[in-house]
Structure 1
């Protein structure tokens, strides 16, 4: 049953220390506001899951929220490295970070099978890759019908799935427009889910190339206008490219990052 609440209430009631948490959004609709609320509530020992961990995971890891990262690519898109992630991996600051690396295809399949309630994902992949040498969660399976050797990894079933979307109606159904990415599968695979939205409307007015998540699949909805900034929300605001460029300098230095946390996250009360 979907419950409408504030973002502060949604994170407090849904995300617990030690949880596995997936905050997904592909290029746009990245749930930055939800990530910042997790930082404000000082969650610890999280396993963070994301196909493309970028700035929001740099911020969460730099704030000491996570001790494990499951991912398939990491970086500041178009700019460079994630310096807080690197500091955690290389120097255990502010805490040690375990990493589990997959390919995009592997994680997409793992989310899909998690949403379907299956225990593993089977696909063609990792041929010639060295990842199986360093990732114990990559195995192989032989097709019982053709004898073909296929890759297999555990399904992704996070404790909490968090996404941002454009709209929800008053019954709790959610509309995602534009680049869909893996958001639907994240919500359906997670034990508990939070969706932040730009607004509540009477009717969703579904357009082509859109996804509607039914209310029964969502635990909490919070209205957070601008909740995806600095990424973009189709039909609402553009990507703030200057933010991504400025982040490189902010995140390189521990002191400047901690000052940023103090002035841009902890001074905000949440919504």
Structure 2
């Protein structure tokens, strides 16, 4: 089976109802396009896991995709609450399982390493009182009391990157979140990329390859796939979108209308980007800022 396919094909093939799905990326390279395709295909009963759920999980919960949310800090960054998630929790429509940021990454790290759990030092927060998955253990070497959290192994992790080749070797620069750990921990990995480049381009700068191709199940060319978050070197964060989302998500009917227009009402990401129009395109436009080249050297003949 070829790895390169459309995003619609990848979601249809590899995201199943009831799956534990992890959309990775910390403020940067959040895979909104993939989340919208999951909504568009009306996937149901998902367990959505993510550090900082951000707007994409607010949208997916509002669309009825989720039955459970595993997360660390749920909010609209710099603005306030995720109102659709809050309504769903208060109405008993979804279950929640909350961790600290470090504990979420520790869970992924354990999953990536094939370990059943990951130990941590107690940090004084009260989450163990409401989350039974925090467990106290005794260090076998020092006798010290530690906290442990179970491994997290998603059925599918979805990662947006700046560039990848057709074999799935995926490169990221700028802020790197938990993308590598999520990919290593997951059973299936979907990569969406701003660019698909020849393998020679990837090999010219191998240290930027955060996710190796052998981990990847599907790779999809999805320009602007992270909007309204940003892709370093491609487009800026759409801060106005985040601010405007607060008003949209406060009103269930307005949110429903937004989903109808901007997700169900467009066939794919290219149509979504075109619909945003030149004013938004200009708002998130950037100018080049090249880093210094690196000399990897080459053996003389």
Give the TM-score, by structure 1 length.
0.95
* Structure richer in helix, relative to its length: 2
What is the rounded CA distance, in whole Å, between the counterparts of 1:116 and 1:150 in structure 2?
20
Q: Give 2:53's aligned residue.
A: 53
Q: Give 2:142's aligned residue.
A: 146
Quick check: 2:169–2:209 contact (8 Å CA) kept in 1?
A: no
- Rate the CA distance shift 1:73–1:2 in 2: closer, same or farther, 3 A: farther
Say if 2:67 is the partner of 1:67: yes
Q: Give 2:186's aligned residue.
A: 190
What is the rounded CA distance, in whole Å, between the counterparts of 2:193 and 2:229 in structure 1?
14
Question: Which range moves more in the overlay, 161-170 or 210-219?
Answer: 210-219
RMSD of aligned C-alpha atoms?
Answer: 1.3
Q: Give 2:111's aligned residue.
A: 114
Residue 254 of structure 2 aligns to a residue whose secondary structure is helix
- Structure 1 portions without partners, runs of 5+: none
- Structure 2 portions without partners, runs of 5+: 270-301
Q: How many residues are paired up?
A: 266
Q: Give 2:26's aligned residue.
A: 26
Matches within 5 A, 1:99-110: 99-110=96-107
Deviations 1:115-159 (A, max 9, x none): 11111111113x432211110101011011100111111111011
1:173 to 169, 187, 195: 169
What is the rounded CA distance, in whole Å, between the counterparts of 1:166 and 1:198 in structure 2?
5
Q: Give 1:225's aligned residue.
A: 223
Q: Give 1:255's aligned residue.
A: 253
Residue 234 of structure 1 aligns to a residue whose secondary structure is coil
What is the rounded CA distance, in whole Å, between the counterparts of 1:30 and 1:172 in structure 2?
18
* Structure richer in strand, relative to its length: 1
Instruction: Give 4+ residue runs of structure 1 displaced > 4 Å after superposition.
Output: none
Q: Give 1:206's aligned residue.
A: 205
Q: Whose radius of gyration is greater, 1 or 2?
A: 2
Shift of 1:207: 7.6
